[in-house]
Structure 1
Amino acid sequence: MKKQAQKRPRRFSLSVKWTAVVTTGVFTTFIVLALILVAFMRAILIQEEQNNVQDTLNAVEQRLSPVASNLTIASVVPRIDVSATTAPAVGGTKAVQPSTSIFSDSVVTKISREDISLAIYNKQGEVIFSSRANDQPLNRTSEMKIYEQRGDGFSGLIGGGPITSSRTGEVIGYVQITDQMDAFHSTMHQVYLIITVLAAAALAIALALAFFMTRRFMQPIKLITNTIDIVNEEPQSSVRIPELRRNDELGDLVNEFNGMLDRIQQFIDQQGEFVQDVSHELRTPVAVLEGHLQLLNRWGKDDPQVLDESLAASLQEITRMKRLIREMLDLTRADQVDVQFPNAVCDIHQAIDQVVNDFKMVHPEFTFLLDNELDGPVWVRMYRNHLEQVLIILLDNAVKYSKDRKEIQVSAGAEEGAIAIAVQDFGEGISPKDRERVFNRFYRVDKARSREAGGNGLGLAIAQRLVESYHGHISVDSALGHGSIFRITLPTITEAKATALQASAPAKPELHD
């Protein structure tokens, strides 16, 4: 095992894996949302820039279209309404450099930024007006268009097209707007910077959140692991996982795990009790058998009377041992009915009638009075053989401990969500001291009489285990010299639920062999 532990490959703990997965998920989600937001913002800003360029192109075209012939400085300047100085231009034509510029116009004011340039050309492509010195080369097109251009140190929008005379319908020049989009690039740079800072913050928050969640989720698992290690080292340990004050699946897991440990411990304790009880209770019959065998070995071989007495006594003790073992097995199995008979149901009305009628036939010297107030079938979640066994135990005890008055009364009635059964005898009764221990295993109120009647003190213990295993309750009221009343209460179910449980319940073996 040490060699296997040494060869164990390196692994990443579940905490690391969960932290990585949660962090990656949260961070990836943030990045995707941020990129979508940036894309929308970029599209909106570019659209706004395009609208500004388009509005300016429309305004310029509207003012220059009344010109009938080729555009000149004289025909352009008055219509644009600027006071300007001239500067050399391409082909010897004087280009206008505005002083107040055209930006006094309400529409053209939108491009008053330094990163926007307006240029007007005649139909030969010679510049006759320029608002800035950063114009891009003229791109002659047959219609007005706006497009984005990148490269050669320029990244922005270019919009332009021909100017058509409204009088002659001929092209009289060209207009072109160059938008370097400095404001757009500055805004996007700030957005990217903010996104980067937020991404770093999101990564840190995601790591912290993932670490906190993983630590919270792993705590019950670590507690379970530690508890398993302790139980493996000491199976009899009573250690349990501390209760988690959380109403979720992990809390349910801890509760179920503790319940499983309790059941395992119960089975272990039952096994130990079974061994102790068997060794204790079989000691007497084994000693009796040993005494008779020694007696036969010494004198019984030649004495028919001794031989007959010893054989009869030995057979009686063997019969007692068989009954004892069967009852102890019944007692052990009574603690496992929730596993063996999870969907068993029975009609308590019919079961009571059958058991009482059987006792009337077996014990004709007794009077059995049945007061059954149940109208029709009444269903309980209990294996029928178990219910019959409980009733047989109580009626058998009533018969054994009855004195002069050979009368036993059995009653059954419905309560709110439950059924109540009572078995009353008029025998010797039970003292208060004995009532507290009457359901203990191997306890006998009258030990001498119990042995004469063949009892081992396990009947009431079996009855109590069976009733409580089906979430019922059993109790006793008694007075010395006046008899005892044993009461049973069992929860009832509807007929529809009983039918559904019967349909899903597999066949089960009886409780005892």
Structure 2
Amino acid sequence: MNPIIWWKRLIASQSLKKKWAFSSATVIFLSFATMSIILFIALKGWLYQQEEQEVNRTMVDLMTFFESQGHFLTVQDIQANTGLMTSIVNKNQTIRLLNIDGIEILRINKTSTFQPFNSIDFPRKGYLINTGDSSSITAVGIVKLGRFNGYVQLEHPLKSFQSIITYILTAMLLFSLCSLLLSGWIGYILASYLLKPLQDLKVTMDDVVAHGFEKDLTISYDAKDEIGELIDVYASMMAKLKSSFEQQQQFIADASHELRTPIQVVEGHLALLNRWGKYDPVVLDESLGISLREVNQMKTLIDEMLELARGEQIKERPPTNIVEYTIEVIKELSQIHPSAYIEHILPARMEMEVLISSNAYQQIIRNILSNAIRYSKSPAHVCISYKKTPLEIIVNVKDHGIGIAPQHVLKIFDRFYRVDPVRTRNLGGSGLGLSIVKMLIENASGSIHVISEEGKGSTFTMVFPLLFEDL
């Protein structure tokens, strides 16, 4: 396998904490190693330069000493110059004096060995420093004492320099290794601390997978960073999913309950007909009439459930002139309920447009008016009026019906909720009409409110935002 591919797979298989620790350790180590290398090169160059300066100073002192002796030089003269001798000994340098043929005449401080005479580069005047050898620095100078012509040779060992360089290099390597381990450990601890909310989030997700929505989100994280935003988004998403799941469960339970009743009624009448009603015209007509009514009730219920499901998914909101479509719905209901009186108070300006589809608005106003007529004493009297504010269009539908008790007002928009189940069933209601109305209005960014007094009637107020061009 390709080493690069293997390395990528190895990194991909590690946890985020290990990746974080490894990345931080690598970055810190490389940064420290780069700085150490630069510092080592600079320090080595500076120290070597110091060694060259020591050689240069010694050669200057030697050349000056020889020039000051005139035509004669004795061993006693050399020994008398204690400062120069002490400096040579302390620097561990070795000095020798050669004649023109390379024969050694004098040696001071025998601590080093010299290279062969025939391999030495001699200067034409003064002295020459040779730095080509890694173990020492050598220098050769021309000496003239009367009729004596020769050379002075200096050998400056680099043992102390190399020891210092080795010590510095070892120390830097140890510090680099320690920085690698320390940065890896600190990176792992820091990653564990910073990623703890994500670990808690994973545990919560595992609980949701294992137990559903039974457990609530228990992550405590107050920082306003990316992880905090992620947790907030997750909490919001889970709340919506939980609410949707609970609504779905409740919807299925309610729908099953609502469908069970008409099915049982039809089943009972079919059983009655099967036993003895098929030969009795009166029982047969009554049972078939009731069964057909219940089948129609089930059909209406299923249609409204499908409409509710479709409405929750469709968010299309084209502009609609609500006054125009209110008139159409009133004409339609007047034919169905000829005894009902629907008072329509038209606004001063007939064009009142809101962002909602015409079908949706017709369904809203049809449901509200049908309920108002259904729950009013005959002849029903319903009044529709409009109000336009700088930001909203308000539609009021007021009836003089039986009204709604205070304890039921907040629940009438719940699915399948009925104030009086027996009366509602007899009047043909399914308990979904107002739920559909509320859903459609909220899809149009509007709201609906109701004020009711038992025995006197109810007023439904629908509020829609005004179009931007009308502002």
TM-score, with structure 2 as normaliser: 0.72
Contact kept? 1:123, 1:173, Cα under 8 Å = yes
**Could you tell me which residue of structure 2 aligns to residue 275 of structure 1?**
252
**Could you tell me which residue of structure 2 aligns to residue 149 of structure 1?**
133
Distance 1:176 1:385 in 2: 112
Deviation of the 1:212 alpha carbon: 0.9
AA aligned to 1:156 is S
Distance 2:349 2:104 in 1: 116
**Correspondence 1:346 to 2:320:** no
**Correspondence 1:424 to 2:397:** yes
Relative to structure 1, the CA distance from residue 449 to residue 142 in structure 2 (aligned partners, 3 Å threshold; closer, same or farther) is: same
Distance 1:41 1:354 in 2: 92
Deviation of the 1:241 alpha carbon: 4.2
Q: Mind listing any 5+ residue stretches in structure 1 that lack a counterpart?
A: 1-10, 65-75, 88-94, 166-171, 496-513
Relative to structure 1, the CA distance from residue 485 to residue 180 in structure 2 (aligned partners, 3 Å threshold; closer, same or farther) is: same
Question: Per-residue CA shift, 1:43-100, capped at 9, x if unaligned?
Answer: 232244345545766x579x68xxxxxxxxxxx623489x98528xxxxxxx956733
Q: How does 1:443-482 map to 2 (within 5 A)?
A: 443-445=417-419, 447=421, 450-465=424-439, 473-480=447-454, 481=456
Q: How many residues align?
A: 435
Question: Per-residue CA shift, 1:290-309, capped at 9, x if unaligned?
Answer: 24323433555345555444
Distance 1:198 1:22 in 2: 16
Question: Per-residue CA shift, 1:377-411, capped at 9, x if unaligned?
Answer: 776xx888666655554454445456653421244
**1:294 aligned to 250, 267, 271, which one?**
271
Relative to structure 1, the CA distance from residue 330 to residue 251 in structure 2 (aligned partners, 3 Å threshold; closer, same or farther) is: farther
**Correspondence 1:78 to 2:67:** yes
**2:385 aligned to 406, 409, 422, which one?**
409
**2:42 aligned to 40, 43, 55, which one?**
40
Relative to structure 1, the CA distance from residue 216 to residue 484 in structure 2 (aligned partners, 3 Å threshold; closer, same or farther) is: same
Contact kept? 2:449, 2:462, Cα under 8 Å = yes
AA aligned to 2:253 is Q
> What is the RMSD computed on CA atoms of the aligned residues?
4.5
Q: Secondary structure at the match of 2:262?
A: helix
**1:99 aligned to 64, 78, 81, which one?**
81
Distance 2:122 2:217 in 1: 85
Structure 1 window deviating more from structure 2 (203-212 vs 172-181): it is 172-181
Q: Which one has the bigger helix percentage? A: 2
Distance 2:96 2:348 in 1: 112
**Correspondence 1:49 to 2:31:** no
Distance 1:195 1:290 in 2: 92
Relative to structure 1, the CA distance from residue 19 to residue 383 in structure 2 (aligned partners, 3 Å threshold; closer, same or farther) is: farther
Structure 1 window deviating more from structure 2 (426-435 vs 111-120): it is 111-120
Q: Secondary structure at the match of 2:131?
A: strand
Deviation of the 1:38 alpha carbon: 1.5
**Could you tell me which residue of structure 2 aligns to residue 140 of structure 1?**
121
Distance 2:85 2:285 in 1: 138
**Correspondence 1:235 to 2:212:** yes
**Could you tell me which residue of structure 2 aligns to residue 484 of structure 1?**
459
Contact kept? 2:325, 2:358, Cα under 8 Å = no
Deviation of the 1:289 alpha carbon: 1.5
Contact kept? 1:115, 1:180, Cα under 8 Å = yes
AA aligned to 1:285 is P
Relative to structure 1, the CA distance from residue 438 to residue 103 in structure 2 (aligned partners, 3 Å threshold; closer, same or farther) is: farther
Distance 1:195 1:412 in 2: 81
Contact kept? 1:426, 1:483, Cα under 8 Å = yes
Q: Secondary structure at the match of 2:460?
A: strand
Contact kept? 1:146, 1:157, Cα under 8 Å = yes
Distance 1:259 1:307 in 2: 57
Q: How does 1:197-346 map to 2 (within 5 A)?
A: 197-199=174-176, 201-235=178-212, 237-298=214-275, 300-304=277-281, 306-331=283-308, 337=312, 340=313, 344=315, 346=317
Contact kept? 1:373, 1:412, Cα under 8 Å = no
Q: How does 1:57-206 map to 2 (within 5 A)?
A: 59=60, 77-79=66-68, 86=75, 96=78, 99-102=81-84, 114-116=91-93, 123-126=100-103, 132-134=109-111, 136-137=114-115, 139-141=120-122, 144=128, 146-150=130-134, 155-158=135-138, 160=139, 176-181=153-158, 184-199=161-176, 201-206=178-183
